């Protein structure tokens, strides 16, 4: 090969190398024409006895994601496409952490969920370690008491609900002797313990505190023990797959006490499982009834048009949670989790469920609890009680 030809070959090779490097550099730069992809993650029980609640929350998040995509949002000057990664955590703490690790590995931008406190609390540590914001409807105080900067709640907590339930039991329903059954889940145990403590603070007597689990369907042995204690009121802390049969068996065994349960058993499914035995029983839910929420009626219509069924319970709260995260992204002008977390505590958002603001722990401010009575297969609203007013010795105010 002569020297002139060698020089020509080397020159051509150098030019091709430079072109290749240029292409790599161009490929590494973000393309303003390409949309930013935001990954929202949602986890809840999508199989098993609580699947109706899990599917309800997934529907709420999915509806919010669809609406956000219709809004054609821009962040950092680029179009944004929102995607939903939904997983079944089976209401099981172990499966919850498996799902959480899957979300972390997928580098999701935010987690909307989980549903159950028993899955939310252990999963929240993984999200905290990864710096991923999480907004949940799980109600156990332990969730936000951990001190993580990533934990937020779109609904009042069980400390607030437990105080209101105890106030209702003793002051409204006139119970002097109270029996408690809880299902030993993180939710049931936390609510049952808070109710126990608050009943005593209001001057009531707890004559029994019995335990079951979230798979049980036969409660005759527990109820026989409780019947001997002659309580004025029986309180159940757990979910509707147990609340319904428990209501029915309470009547079958001849217990005359009033029956009260929290939001886990305050659902159409509980009434369906209990049948006529539900009539006359009482329950509470977090927040205001859907039709009394700021955007509740419009939400119900949209939900029914989209999913061909009615709202179960929690979906408006996780719909709002999704919108709150999107609002934080717009205020931060970023989809990076760290920048979302920098502005999330300053949230001041008017959602379907009302005004959403967070306290220093990430709990929602102004926790209202609504009081219901089951009549003819559904829970009818009686009044809403401010949890701050349910403290022993304070005057109570209610919204009817």
- Output the six-digit token pair for 15: 């030019």
Residue that wins the pLDDT comparison between 16 and 391: 391
228-251 per-position pLDDT tens digit: 999 999 999 999 999 999 999 999
The domain tally of the chain equals 2
Domain match, 333 and 344 both:
yes
Q: How far apart are CA 13 and CA 137, in angstroms?
A: 61
Residue 133 lies in a domain: yes
Residue 352 lies in a domain: yes
The answer to whether the beta carbons of residues 121 and 138 sit under 8 Å apart is: yes
Q: What is the 3-state secondary structure (H, E, C) of 253-305?
A: CCCCCEEEECHHHCCHHHHHHHHHHHCCCEEEEECCCHHHCCCHHHHHHHHHH
Does a structural domain hold residue 16? Answer: no
Question: Would you say residue 10 lies in a domain?
Answer: no
Highest mean pLDDT among 26-30, 209-213, 311-315: 209-213
Do 282 and 182 lie in one domain? The reply is yes
Pick the residue with more confidence: 19 or 256?
A: 256
Q: Is it the case that residue 191 has pLDDT exceeding 90?
A: yes
Kindly indicate the confidence band of residue 391, based on its pLDDT and cuts at 50, 70 and 90. confident
- The proportion of the chain whose per-residue pLDDT surpasses 90, expressed as a percent, equals 81
Beta bridge partners of residue 106, listed in sequence order? none
Instruction: Decide: 169 and 199 in contact? Cβ < 8 Å.
Output: yes
pLDDT above 50 for 7: no
Which carries the bigger pLDDT value, residue 187 or residue 8?
187
What pTM was estimated for this model as a whole? 0.79
- The answer on pLDDT for 30 being more than 80 is no
202 and 176 together in one domain: yes
Residue (of 283, 264, 9) closest to 118 by Cα position: 264
Give yes or no: residues 172 and 314 share one domain: no
Arithmetic mean of pLDDT, 21-27: 40
- pLDDT bracket for residue 16 (50, 70, 90): very low
CATH number assigned to the domain comprising residue 58: 3.40.50.2300
pLDDT of amino acid 334: 98
Q: Phi-psi category of 48—alpha, beta or left, where left has phi over 0 and alpha has psi -120 to 50?
A: left
Q: Which residue would you say has higher pLDDT here, 315 or 21?
A: 315
Mean local confidence (pLDDT), 259-270: 94
pLDDT band at 294 (very low <50, low <70, confident <90, very high): confident
Residues 148 and 124 in one domain: yes
Per-residue pLDDT band for 386 (boundaries 50, 70, 90) equals: confident
Confidence of residue 32 (pLDDT cuts 50, 70, 90): low
The more confident residue out of 197 and 9 is 197
Domain containing 300 equals 36-155+291-356
Are 105 and 117 in a shared domain?
A: yes
Answer yes or no: are the C-beta atoms of 123 and 114 closer than 8 Å. yes
- Tokens 């701050």 belong to 388
Whether residues 136 and 55 fall in one domain: yes
Domain assignment present for residue 7? The answer is: no
Q: Do 86 and 165 fall into the same domain?
A: no
Q: Are 134 and 193 in the same domain? A: no
pLDDT attached to residue 17: 42
- Evaluate whether residue 92 is within a structural domain: yes
pLDDT at 366 over 80: no
Token output for 301: 């219509």
Query: Looking at the domain assignment, is residue 345 inside a domain?
Result: yes
Structure tokens at 360: 């220093």
Examine the domain organization and report whether 277 and 173 are in the same domain. yes
pLDDT of residue 389: 85
Indicate whether 14 belongs to any domain.
no
Residues 190 and 322 in one domain: no
Mean pLDDT estimate for the chain: 90
**CA gap 341, 364 in Å, rounded:** 16
Over residues 55-100, the pLDDT tens digits come to 999 999 999 999 999 999 999 999 999 999 999 999 999 999 999 9
| pLDDT tens-digit series, residues 114-173 | 999 999 999 999 999 999 999 999 988 999 999 999 999 999 898 889 999 999 999 999
End-to-end CA distance of the chain: give it in Å, rounded. 97
Residues 166 and 308 in one domain: no
Q: Give the count of beta carbons closer than 10 Å to the beta carbon of residue 19.
A: 10
Q: Which pair of structure tokens corresponds to residue 18? A: 């430079």
């Amino acid at each position: 090969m002569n020297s002139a030809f060698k020089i020509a070959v080397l020159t051509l090779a150098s030019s091709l190398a430079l072109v290749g490097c240029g292409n790599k550099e161009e490929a590494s730069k973000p393309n303003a024409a390409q949309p930013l992809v935001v990954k929202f993650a949602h986890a809840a029980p999508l199989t098993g006895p609580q699947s109706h609640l899990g599917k309800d929350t997934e529907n709420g998040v999915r509806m919010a994601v669809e609406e956000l995509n219709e809004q054609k949002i821009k962040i950092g000057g680029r179009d944004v496409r929102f995607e939903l990664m939904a997983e079944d955590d089976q209401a099981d703490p172990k499966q919850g952490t498996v799902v959480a690790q899957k979300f972390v590995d997928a580098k999701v931008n935010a987690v909307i969920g989980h549903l159950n406190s028993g899955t939310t609390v252990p999963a929240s540590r993984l999200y905290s370690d990864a710096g991923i914001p999480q907004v949940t409807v799980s109600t156990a105080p332990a969730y936000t008491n951990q001190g993580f900067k990533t934990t937020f709640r779109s609904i009042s907590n069980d400390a607030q609900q437990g105080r209101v339930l105890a106030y209702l039991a003793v002051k409204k329903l006139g119970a002097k002797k109270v029996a408690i059954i809880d299902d030993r889940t993180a939710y049931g145990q936390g609510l049952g313990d808070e109710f126990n403590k608050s009943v005593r603070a209001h001057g009531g007597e707890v004559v029994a505190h019995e335990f079951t689990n979230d798979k049980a369907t036969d409660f005759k042995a527990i109820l026989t023990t409780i019947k001997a204690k002659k309580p004025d009121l029986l309180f159940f802390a757990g979910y509707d797959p147990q609340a319904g049969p428990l209501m029915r068996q309470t009547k079958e065994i001849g217990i005359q006490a009033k029956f009260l349960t929290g939001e886990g058993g305050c659902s159409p499914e509980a009434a369906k499982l209990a049948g006529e035995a539900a009539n006359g029983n009482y329950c509470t839910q977090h927040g205001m009834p859907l039709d009394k929420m700021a955007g509740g009626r419009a939400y119900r219509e949209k939900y029914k048009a989209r999913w061909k069924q009615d709202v179960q319970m929690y979906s408006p709260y996780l719909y709002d949670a999704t919108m709150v995260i999107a609002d934080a992204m717009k205020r931060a002008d970023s989809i990076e989790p760290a920048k979302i977390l920098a502005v999330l505590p300053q949230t001041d958002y008017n959602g379907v469920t009302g005004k959403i603001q967070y306290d220093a722990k990430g709990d929602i401010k102004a926790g209202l609890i609504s009081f219901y009575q089951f009549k003819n297969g559904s829970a009818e609203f009686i009044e809403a009680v401010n949890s701050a007013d349910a403290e022993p010795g304070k005057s109570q105010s209610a919204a009817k």
